[in-house]
């Protein structure tokens, strides 16, 4: 509950008396829990013909960009619910991310996709659009990270384990590193994020337990070597040495706090100084490791087993944490104590993307459905906080997600790990075959059935 000292009524009085500036008043009001508890699905933006894999606002929040399996990018006047511009991305496979470059008057965007390409979009006068190839990954390119305040610099990461640095002034793509584990195996990267408090630092996450932080200043631009080892590593102590999990989403707050979202696990918030350090990466059976006295904050309740889900902060001062879920809900937690506040139905199947408006208490979400949901605090009644113990996860048909062999393998390993943890035994080979059959039949006894099972949208491929 908000104290009376920080209530909207008191803040309004302070603004009228000149004690509180209009800017501070707006930021306080935007972070009010009372508004979060009144969020509801105000409208759906419907134009795409495939799963919507990315949503992002421009700098002032007036335009929402979306990208989809239909390989199109749409720019929306989200408030009016209308299309401002739509065009083909130039990609030959599913679009995974599309972002505006800062300080370009919304005239330049960058995109990446399942075809491994990284492209630049130039939006010209009269709505004319041209796209050009900037670089490529070997395998799917999942995410981009734009340097804060820079109209030129951004990074990409992909399933080939590489991180590439792009400079739009020279149209060059520079391979910074190939991410490998302690056994020198390549880590397929799903996520990348830049620390806004120090843009020289960026973090990547993929198919093992570590979020690795690198410093761009360590790169030798004569290409004689890559960026070298990480300057810091982040991982909850109980996940060290786990073989069958990885990171699907990363996000930094305005204060440099790091969110990590793991598949088949929870979401964790690391404060500055909670990393393991650059010399801790010596393998799962290393000697002399001493965990931090205080571990990361844990956010529980959602499910992240089937797709590559993002995670984000929400609120003008990053007061909340938001994520999608396999149950088709949008989850919001209070950051300060990890209290689950909302679990709102956001997709028939899975919610993958959550994007917070840069100025207002507004959220855009997307997933397997072909539309985008806009959430604003206009409900006439305030919702009650969610009781996790009473939250039932909807049962889904999961076989629609198996678009590639590695997707099937990932699902089998995740299911194997859950059963091993629940039953404290290692499944035999015959039991693994049974898991494959269950996937094919859409059966999963680990889910609680809170309704009818849903048929999935064919062979829709998500990032």
Contact, 398 vs 459, CB < 8 A?
A: no
Task: Tell me how far apart the alpha carbons of residues 122 and 202 are, in angstroms, rounded to a whole number.
Answer: 26
CB distance 176 to 200 below 8 Å: no
In 183-327, where do the E strands start and end? 189-194, 201-206, 211-215, 232-234, 247-252, 258-262, 267-270, 297-299, 311-314, 320-324
Closest by CA position to 376, among listed 57, 26, 42, 76: 42
- Element holding 440 (H helix, E strand): helix 429-441
Q: What is the pLDDT of residues 352-396, one digit of tens each?
A: 999 999 989 999 999 999 999 999 999 999 998 888 877 766 545
- Which candidate, 377, 333, 379, 381, places its Cα nearest to that of 29? 377
Q: What pLDDT is recorded for position 294? A: 79
What does the alpha-carbon distance between residue 114 and residue 362 come to, in Å, rounded to a whole number? 29
Determine the Cα–Cα distance for residues 435 and 413; give it in Å rounded to an integer. 10
**pLDDT-derived band of residue 112, with 50, 70 and 90 as boundaries?**
very high
Containing 42, the helix (H) or strand (E) segment is strand 40-46
pLDDT at residue 323 in the model: 97
Q: Which tokens hold the place of 431?
A: 């039991």
Q: What is the pTM of this model?
A: 0.81
Q: How confident is the model at residue 282 (pLDDT cuts 50, 70, 90)?
A: low
Partners of 371 in beta bridges: 46
Q: What does the alpha-carbon distance between residue 54 and residue 52 come to, in Å, rounded to a whole number?
A: 6
Rounded CA separation 30/36 (Å): 9
Distances (CA, A) of 451 to 102, 367, 458: 45, 20, 21
**Region of 298 on the Ramachandran plot (φ > 0 left; ψ -120 to 50 alpha; else beta):** beta
Residues in the chain: 463
Q: Each residue of 302-357: pLDDT tens digit?
A: 999 888 899 999 999 999 999 999 999 999 999 999 999 999 999 999 999 999 99
Q: Give the C-alpha separation, 109 to 98, whole Å.
A: 7
Average pLDDT over every residue of 131-157: 97
Average the pLDDT over each of 57-66, 110-119, 215-224 and give the range with the smallest value: 215-224
- H-helix or E-strand spanning residue 258: strand 258-262
Helix pair 429-441, 405-423: axis angle to 10 deg: 120
Do 392 and 348 meet the contact criterion of CB atoms below 8 Å apart?
A: no
* Percent of residues, the chain, with pLDDT higher than 90: 64
The label of the residue with tokens 């792009």 reads 166
Burial of 374 (0-12, 13-18, 19+ CB in 10 A): buried
Torsion-angle region of 425 (φ positive above 0: left; ψ -120 to 50: alpha; else: beta) = beta
Residue 404 has pLDDT above 90, yes or no: no
Residue 418: count other Cβ atoms within 10 Å of its Cβ: 15
367 close to 52: Cβ distance less than 8 angstroms: yes
């Amino acid at each position: 509950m908000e104290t009376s000292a920080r209530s909207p009524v008191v803040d309004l009085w302070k603004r009228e008396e000149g004690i509180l500036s209009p800017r501070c008043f707006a930021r306080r009001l935007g972070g009010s829990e009372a508004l979060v508890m009144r969020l509801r699905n105000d409208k759906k933006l419907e134009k795409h013909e495939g799963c919507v894999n990315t949503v992002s606002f421009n700098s002032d929040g007036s335009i929402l960009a979306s990208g989809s399996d239909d390989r199109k990018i749409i720019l929306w006047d989200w408030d009016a619910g209308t299309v401002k511009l739509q065009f083909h991305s130039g990609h030959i496979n599913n679009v995974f991310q599309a972002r505006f470059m800062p300080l370009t008057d919304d005239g330049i965007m960058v995109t990446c996709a399942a075809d491994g390409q990284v492209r630049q979009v130039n939006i010209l006068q009269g709505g004319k659009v041209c796209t050009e190839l900037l670089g490529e990954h070997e395998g799917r390119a999942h995410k981009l990270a734009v340097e804060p305040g820079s109209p030129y610099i951004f990074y990409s990461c992909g399933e080939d384990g590489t991180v590439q640095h792009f400079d739009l002034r020279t149209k060059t793509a520079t391979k910074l590193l190939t991410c490998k584990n302690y056994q020198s195996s390549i880590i397929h990267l799903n996520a990348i994020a830049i620390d806004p408090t120090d843009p020289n630092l960026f973090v990547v996450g993929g198919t093992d337990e570590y979020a690795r932080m690198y410093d761009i200043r360590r790169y030798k631009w004569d290409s004689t070597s890559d960026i070298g080892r990480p300057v810091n590593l982040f991982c909850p102590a109980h996940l060290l040495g786990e073989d069958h999990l990885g990171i699907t989403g990363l996000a930094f707050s305005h204060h440099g706090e790091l969110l990590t979202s793991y598949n088949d696990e929870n979401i964790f918030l690391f404060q500055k100084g909670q990393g393991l350090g650059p010399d801790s990466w010596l393998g799962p059976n290393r000697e002399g490791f001493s965990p931090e006295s205080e571990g990361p904050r844990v956010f529980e309740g959602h499910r992240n087993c089937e797709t590559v889900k993002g995670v984000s902060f929400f609120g003008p001062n990053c007061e909340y944490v938001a994520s999608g879920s396999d149950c088709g809900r949008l989850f919001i937690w209070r950051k300060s104590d990890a209290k689950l506040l909302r679990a709102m139905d956001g997709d028939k199947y899975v919610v993958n993307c959550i994007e917070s408006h840069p100025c207002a208490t507004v959220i855009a979400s997307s997933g397997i459905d072909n539309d985008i949901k806009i959430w604003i605090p206009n409900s006439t009644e305030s919702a009650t906080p969610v009781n996790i113990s009473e939250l039932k996860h909807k049962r889904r048909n999961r076989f629609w997600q198996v678009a590639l062999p590695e997707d099937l393998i990932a699902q089998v390993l995740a299911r194997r790990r859950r059963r091993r943890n629940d039953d404290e035994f290692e499944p035999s080979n015959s039991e693994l075959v049974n898991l494959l059959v269950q996937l094919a039949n859409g059966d999963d006894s680990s889910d609680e059935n809170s309704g009818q099972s849903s048929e999935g949208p064919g062979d829709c491929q998500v990032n």
